[in-house]
Amino acid sequence: MTKADGAISQISQSGIFDPEILCGPCDEKLGLLEEKAAQLLTTVRNQAKGLHEGAIVKLPQRDDDLLRFYAALLWKYSVTRPEFGRVDLGKFQEPLRAVSFGSETIPEFLDVALFRLRLDLDDTGVFAYRAPSPDRKHGINLYRILVGGVLALVKIDRRPWADRLTSELGLRGRGEVRVAVAAAKEFEEFKMAQKLAHTKPKISTFLDKQDNVALNT
């Protein structure tokens, strides 16, 4: 199902991707998860417009596809080359692969808490993307992923969330998606993007174009 050798990176609008990880049918299957996630995250951005910080956007969830989407993102980064941002999932790699392709129920260790990082009250755009980055929150092992204007804290830990907010936002076992609206400037993802925008002219130009697209859509 995967191609272990000969990976080639390409530049996309959202960064670097590795087209040699998956065979065609597998790429198409995961692509369906990505399309559904993109539609949902667009809805989140639109519904968060005008809401105060701390508000919760709630959307119905009929299946586990959003959890599987984040599982697939992590798994793909675990099988790419180190120079493409590979992460080491250890014993969780194979369970996440199975979850990604829908052959397993959602394991106890996997959950996701979502935050809509907003630049201002009327923001419906996407200011940056961030590949999976390992982190710990109150001793719980997780990965931070920023995609579609929404920060995901992906818990890879059998222990439950250790704080009230992430516990209330967790997707696992819910009949709805809950996303907390938050000020982007308070998060490291925004601070990193801001620093890059001031030090890398090409990135700054790209972010300016993204802002213009958001304003005209």
The pLDDT tens digits for 98-127 are 998 887 899 999 999 999 999 999 999 998
Distances (CA, A) of 59 to 56, 195, 203: 10, 33, 33
Lookup result for tokens 């995901």: 152
Segments in the chain forming alpha helices (H) = 24-48, 65-79, 93-100, 164-169, 188-199, 201-215
Rounded percentage of the chain residues whose pLDDT exceeds 90: 59
pTM score: 0.80
Shortest CA distance to 142 belongs to which of 169, 112, 165, 122? Answer: 112
pLDDT digits over 150-165, tens only?
A: 999 999 999 999 999 9
Looking from the CA of 216 toward its CB, the CA atoms found within 13 Å total 6
